[in-house]
A and B are shown apart, each in its own frame.
Chain A
Amino acid sequence: MQVKNAIAHTRKYLQHSYSDERLLLQYLQTLQNLNQNISASDLQSLENLTGIPVYAARQVIDFYSFLTYEDPVSYRILVSDNIVDQYQGSRELMRWFKQHLDDRHVAVGTTSCIGLSDLGPGILVNGRLISRVTESRRESIRQLIQTRTPLSAWPAEFFQVNHPIRKSGLLLDDQQPGGTALAAFSDYEPEQALQTIQDSGLRGRGGAGFSTATKWRFCRQETADSKVVICNADEGEPGTFKDYVLLKDKINLVIEGMIIAAKIINADKGFIYLRGEYLTLMPHIYRALESYRSQGWLSGSFDIDIHLGAGAYICGEESALIESLEGKPGIPRNRPPFPVNSGYCGLPTIVNNVETFANVSLIFIYGAEHYRQHGSKNSSGTKVLSVSGDCRHPGVYELSFGTRLSELLQMAGATEVQAVQIGGAAGHLIKPEHFGRRFDFDDLATAGAVMIFNQQRKLLDVASNFADFFVHESCGFCTPCRVGTTVQSKILHRFQHHKAAAQDHDNLQKLVQLLKASSHCGLGSSAGWISESLLNDFPEVFNLPDNEQASAAFFDIDSALLEARNLAGHQ
């Protein structure tokens, strides 16, 4: 009965028709959110009802972090474990929860960055975000759990996420009522509209900076009965949260950008792929879609469904995202074919970032010429950045392209800065001599995560944390990323604990090159950037002791004896 209801509940909010296979991940998400667990009997019922074999469902569960099998609890607390969260006390918070909620109905663990680095320490309780878990708040949470209070009866303010907007520009300042972009767009023929986007110079905000008009033109040229527009709202990069703000405050611009895209490429299917961490935004986005439906902007000829991710950073990669939308593990596809030619279920598909769609709306509201006046020569418009770490004013900053990093640091009140990580874990660590560099596709190209580290911080802690993130998030498909990310992590941890050997330094250099050259997708090829940054710009962190350790490669007596000690019961 429960599984039947979960299937009905999942389908109730969807406009397109799907096979059960395509909705497998969504069914599993619904079951997980219902019970904080998926049981063997759930999977058997699912097989009986849909014909999807238990083993096929297990394959999906085993891939996604937020899906758990046969691990029944009433409360699942996941503490965000980005390095910036750790600086705000996340590890201490986790210890506290483990100590004070020693209860078989409660599971406490860590998870990759949940998008609260400016409001840390942040946690997920049964999939719902709670920011700023202070001492008084954690005590309240403990009491609520001990009294078995359902989350629906917890204080509403616990679930409010208010990222501070520190600086706004063209996008965040926009106050036009919903429908303005669509009304302006209605004056254009599709070809003319595409030309307008091209004239605006808009480039994708997901980080790579590909020309939006070019991507859409490729897809427009495809002849197919059905085409697909996907909004990538899977912002999983550690240290980023700006898409949360756009989805919450500027959802009209995002939806209108998607509708414009659909009209240009002639699409009938739309998706917002929302990261599982942002589950609580789902009703808000759904209500916004409903209002566009009631005005006739979304209908049978083009409509948008929300699909939820389930804790897999790799699904931010566009072809992995498409696999996930198809209900499968998010393993990036081989290219060619490219999504514009063959994407979701083989249909021509465009995938763009939340911020890109919002910018498309701005271009039609204000005109390409006005839009171009913001930004720099090859990077028009503004960039919304997520700023966290060691500064007085963490939060969201919207800057014109071309702004220098040093200007941002000044605005954020960051002093005694040792280094700034631009682009999240898959980014580069910038040293003070380079703070004059500019946010621009030709210079510091980024999807928007900026993490600031002062002189008290140990950069090897930062690098080890990012390396661990890649170990956790590698999909494991290709050799270099599956194995190389773990080797990288082990080496960095040895340096962190002063147990490294000369060979580790050489191996790290080799790994960085190997990951870049041979990985299957962008996750693998960027997984070594953090080590590369340290090797090139902060070589002093790798100082090796001048002793016999240099020859004791890999050997750590404590870990070698650990198993024997455990067996013998020695501490």
Chain B
Amino acid sequence: MMAKLNFTLDGIEIVFSPGQTIMDAALAAGHYIPHLCHEPGYTPHGSCRLCLVAANGRMVSACTQPASSDLEVISNHESLTQHRRQLLQLLFIEGNHICPACEKSGNCKLQALAYDQGMLEPGFEQFFPRRRIDASHAGFIIDSDRCIACELCVRASRDIDKKNIFAIHGRGLKRQLVINSPSGELADTDFAATDKAAQICPVGAILPKHQAFRQSIGNRLYDRQPISQIDGVNHE
């Protein structure tokens, strides 16, 4: 029998199997590394950069870096927390994330991570973008101003729902969520509430209609427990 493979995460030994990333192994062992664009079981993306860790001193994204047995990984460190806070600030100022007015408040990973990482202010000037809102669909609304370009909906629709409804177009700040349909509208697709893509948005960019406050503020997922305890539990 082969010896168990392991690396250390903040001094704790983490067992992994070949092919796992640092993130896979850490989450499987019940250790939380902050992340937004990652979801267990999805193709790793590495775009939000929230899972920035130092692996043998080199800065890498834990969700894309393969685990290996000679690694000493540091995640919980003040300098990394500062970087994560700034990354969160950049995501907040890039879009229009007005938590008190957002239906997703309390169920939003961006908001929950900001609390978790101690981000108390936007830090940089707000961009206040004016992007497209698509309310064409009977059951869902797309608010691009709240999109963080994590491509979870793109991956869910393409890889799991097999519908390929979403894409991100453009370059730089112009990167935006678009709908792969002749009219560019969601109503023109076979998008359904049962789609994985309808449930995966970590922020308030893909919102179900007529549901807004059925669950009261204060009783929502991340209102009750910090994200590190909810998303950090063993998914296996």
Contact = CB atoms under 8 A, between A and B. Distances in A.
A77 to B, nearest CB: 22
B49 to A, nearest CB: 5
Interface string A63-83: 101000000000000000000
B87 A514 contact: yes
A126 interface: no
Interface stretch (B132-140, B178-186, B215-223): B178-186
Contact of B48 (A62, A63, A479, A487): A479
B63 to A, nearest CB: 9
A520 interface: yes
Interface stretch (B5-13, B25-33, B88-96, B199-207): B88-96
Given A59-B167, A514-B87, A517-B52, A334 B180 contact: no
B172 interface: yes
A474 B46 contact: no
A480 interface: yes
Interface stretch (B112-120, B121-129, B227-235): B121-129
A476 B87 contact: no
Contacts of B193: none
A404 interface: no
A336 interface: yes
Contacts, number: 107
Contact of B171 (A312, A490, A517): A312
Interface string B44-59: 1011111010000001
B169 interface: yes
A487 B124 contact: yes
Given A55-B181, A478-B47, A517-B52, A62 B173 contact: no
B46 A479 contact: no
Contacts of B50: 479
Interface string B162-177: 0000010111111100
- Sorting the interface of chain A by its residue count into under 10, 10 to 19, 20 to 34 or 35 or more gives 35 or more
A312 B156 CA distance: 28
B83 interface: yes
A520 B47 contact: yes
Contact of B167 (A55, A475, A478): A55
Contacts of B175: 476-477, 482
A510 B86 contact: yes
B197 interface: no
A518 B94 contact: no
Given A476-B175, A487-B90, A518 B170 contact: no
B180 A480 contact: no
Contact of A475 (B48, B90, B148, B172): B172
Contacts of A477: 47, 149, 175
A519 B86 CA distance: 13
B64 interface: yes
Contacts of A518: 49, 52, 59, 83, 87
A36 B57 CA distance: 49
A484 interface: yes
A518 B46 CA distance: 10
A542 interface: no
A476 B83 contact: no
Contacts of A484: 90
A362 interface: no
Contacts of A478: 46-49
Contact of A517 (B47, B59, B94, B174): B59
A192 B50 CA distance: 46
B172 A473 contact: yes
Contact of A554 (B66, B125, B178, B182): B125
A336 B60 CA distance: 11
A482 B180 contact: no
Contact of B149 (A56, A482, A485, A511): A482
A522 interface: no
B170 A514 contact: no
A483 interface: yes
Contact of A482 (B61, B64, B172): B172
Given A475-B172, A507-B123, A480 B167 contact: no
A514 B83 contact: yes
A62 B171 contact: yes
A86 B173 CA distance: 25
Contacts of A487: 90, 93, 124-125
Interface string A505-542: 00100110110011110000000000000000000000
6 contacts: A55-B181, A63-B170, A476-B170, A476-B175, A519-B49, A520-B61
Given A55-B180, A63-B171, A518-B52, 17 more contacts: A56-B180, A59-B169, A471-B173, A472-B172, A476-B149, A476-B175, A478-B48, A479-B47, A479-B148, A480-B87, A483-B91, A484-B90, A487-B125, A507-B123, A510-B86, A513-B83, A514-B87
Q: Top 8 closest A-B pairs, CB basis?
A: A476-B175, A483-B90, A554-B125, A62-B169, A334-B64, A476-B172, A474-B172, A55-B180
Interface of B: 44, 46-50, 52, 59, 61, 64, 66, 82-83, 86-87, 90-91, 93-94, 123-125, 127, 148-149, 167, 169-175, 178, 180-182, 184
